Chain A
Amino acid sequence: MVKSTPPFGFAIKRDDEKCIRCQACARMCSNDVHAYDAEKDIIVSDSTKCVGCHFCEAICPTSALTVERTQSQYRENFNWTAEVINDIKSQAGSGGVILTGMGCDKPYTNYWDRIVLNASQVTNPSIDPLREPMELKTFIGRKPDRIEMGSPEGPKLETEIPHQLELEAPIMFSAMSYGSISYNACFALARAASDFGTFWNTGEGGLHRDFYRYGPRTIVQVASGRFGVTREYLNTGAAIEIKIGQGAKPGIGGHLPGEKVTEPISETRMIPAGTDALSPAPHHDIYSIEDLRQLIYALKEATRYRKPVGVKIAAVHNVAPISSGIVRAGADFIVIDGMRGGTGAAPKVTRDNVGIPIEIATAVVDSRLREEGIRNQASLVVAGGFRKSSDVIKAIALGADAVYVATSALVAMGCTICQKCYTGKCNWGIATQDPYLTKRLNPEIATRRLKNLLRAWSLEIKEMMGGMGINAIESLRGNREQLRGVGLSEMELKMLGIKSVGEAW
């Protein structure tokens, strides 16, 4: 039987009239797609190796390259797609699990695209965000059940408010471990978060020594592998996040392939270099909700109750009652990561089939917590494939306090979502530890771009809020009246807790 290799997915198209044989493409491609043939004085491109990252296209000084998706090599078949056929052949050859990177790319309904926002017309004036103050400031942390105001001189807050994270806008950088992404990428996230006035998350890779100075803007994660978790680590961060699960791969632990475990990673994570860093599926000291409560309070004790301690779970079927339990266990914030969340490496079957969309999860968790009268006890942060400012504002309207973005941040830094993060050969210098590649991500430029993204989305959120006649994000939080579903079933509308388009107040 002929050994079947899957047909390649990308074709390099080179405009020979424009190609000046500068060989930048040949030099730069980490997958060795391009090579210079000195005899014939042309550049030869082996498209079979191309992963579609577009780096060569970006670097070509004369824009002579186009990276195209090839036509499907098989006859069109709705059920037996090229991907399905190729995966079967691949597994028949390897006998192993197919790995992939980034978030679920399958056509599950993206509810953000089926929800529309309101705008003020006659009954309520809209607000011009360029002329009037708009408040996007958000506080993440436990809010007291009641507050007492006292003193005859005027309003004075008597109740002590637990520690809060102060955000300039309801957007934070979600967990991406140092190891899955490069030092330069972490550096940029930390700096951009600090400069903008929001937070970034260490992920389960621990915190590199050089980033301790960004501690006040860092959310440190305690994941099942407990990589890099020391008392100093916990006290350096502004908040602690216990990672139970992750949207891209609910139910299984993190996975950093050995190729990406270099000396600095080994040092930060406190594991041997070159070995796969596999986080266990469960925390081996959390087997029940009571265990979780114990860990939450252990962390609070260790940090003298000065930092919010939260819990991150993947959005699964029973996300609502689970969230309720987590809040009652003492979490100051809870993070729900939807099925479209990204990852550096995960089995493709898990990434594409396990978990539920964050849109529904946000709505049901917010509703459940409100019904139980405990919504104030923990902030709700949601994650999992937020692509635009409109996704963010809709999530807030559904009930979230803030949104975590990761994939968008990577794209801002150059990522083209080729889904090959697990190979460690990211040409953009993001999802790699190869020093030759990481040089390409200039943290100065990346920081600038991340700040631009946050700024751009903030401005757009203000535009949309102003359009609705709202000037403070707090007034939009959980304000489902501003949303309408379009093209959704009755059940979906019910789950989301929103009306159908066409229905008035």
Chain B
Amino acid sequence: MKKIRIREKYCMGCRLCEIYCAVQHSKSKDLVKAYRGEYPKPVPRILVEEKDYLSFAIQCRHCEDAPCIGACITGAMSRDPKSGAVLCDENKCVGCWMCIMMCPFGVIGRGKEKKVISKCDLCVGEKEPACVKNCPNEALVLEEE
């Protein structure tokens, strides 16, 4: 399956990945409309960690042995057979936050609008993830694993 590789040495901390991720998951999918018009403001599922000049963006690793799938009390979290991505069915999720506790990367967040979790969905359905497409320095690359 295709996975996103994080290359810390090329991340410059611009956080554009966060912007584009949020826009990709917004209602309007338009940069200006999403940030100037939508309420609540769109929330990214990718997180840039930064300390001095060290920085990198981290998102769901779509682990082979994903602990979040086992943690989910409703079975909302499951693996999409086609893409191999770990996806959350927002209609099933009740916001119990078990997966947030279990994820060793801490890349699952809480949604702002509905009481459901929010995490990277590998932009399933798009040609490539928005973060990979728009990173200006190729710090995020899509690779076949």
The residues of A with any CB-CB pair to B shorter than 8 Å are 17-18, 20-24, 27-28, 58-59, 61-62, 429, 434-436, 439-440, 442, 444-445
Contacts and interface: CB of A to CB of B under 8 A. Distances in A.
Contacts of B15: 22-24, 27
B14 A59 contact: yes
Nearest to B139: A442
Contacts of B20: 61
A439 B9 contact: yes
B12 interface: yes
Contacts of B97: none
A22 B19 CA distance: 7
A62 B19 CA distance: 11
Contact of B16 (A17, A61, A435): A61
Interface string B1-27: 000000001111111100110000000
Nearest to A28: B14
17 contacts: A17-B32, A20-B19, A20-B32, A22-B19, A24-B14, A24-B16, A24-B19, A59-B136, A61-B16, A61-B134, A62-B31, A435-B53, A439-B11, A439-B53, A440-B12, A442-B139, A445-B138
Nearest to A436: B53
A157 to B, nearest CB: 47
B83 interface: no
Interface in B16-69: 16, 19-20, 31-32, 34-36, 52-53, 55
Nearest to B52: A436
Contact of A20 (B31, B55, B134, B138): B31
Contact of B10 (A17, A23, A24, A439): A439
Contacts of A62: 31-32
Interface residues of B, number: 23
Contacts of B9: 439
Q: Which of A17, A28, A439 has the most CB of B within 10 A?
A: A439
Contacts, number: 59
Given A27-B14, A440-B12, A442-B138, A61 B52 contact: no
B137 interface: yes
Given A21-B35, A436-B52, A27 B19 contact: no
Nearest to B19: A22
A325 B23 CA distance: 66
Contacts of B35: 20-22
B19 A28 contact: no
Interface of B: 9-16, 19-20, 31-32, 34-36, 52-53, 55, 134, 136-139
B31 to A, nearest CB: 5
Contacts of A435: 53
Given A61-B19, A442-B137, A445-B138, A18 B32 contact: yes
Contacts of A20: 19, 31-32, 34-36
Contact of A439 (B12, B36, B134): B12
Given A61-B19, A429-B12, A439-B11, 6 more contacts: A24-B14, A28-B12, A59-B136, A61-B16, A436-B53, A442-B139
Q: Which of B20, B34, B36 has the most CB of A within 10 A?
A: B36
A435 B31 CA distance: 30
A316 B139 CA distance: 46
B137 A440 contact: yes
A434 B11 CA distance: 14
B14 A445 contact: no
A59 B52 CA distance: 20
A333 B52 CA distance: 46
B16 A22 contact: yes
Contacts of A23: 15
A23 B35 CA distance: 12
Contacts of A444: 10, 138
Contacts of A59: 14, 16, 136
Nearest to B48: A27
Nearest to A444: B138
A436 B9 CA distance: 10
A59 B135 CA distance: 10
6 tightest Cβ-Cβ pairs between the two chains A and B: A436-B53, A20-B35, A435-B53, A440-B12, A442-B10, A442-B137
Nearest to B9: A439
A33 to B, nearest CB: 15
Contacts of B52: 436
A27 B32 contact: no
Nearest to B136: A59
A269 B88 CA distance: 55
A445 B138 CA distance: 8
A440 B11 CA distance: 7
Nearest to A25: B14
A355 to B, nearest CB: 37
A27 B13 contact: yes
A436 to B, nearest CB: 4
A21 to B, nearest CB: 7
A286 to B, nearest CB: 41
Nearest to B7: A442
Nearest to B18: A22
B55 to A, nearest CB: 8
Contacts of B138: 442, 444-445
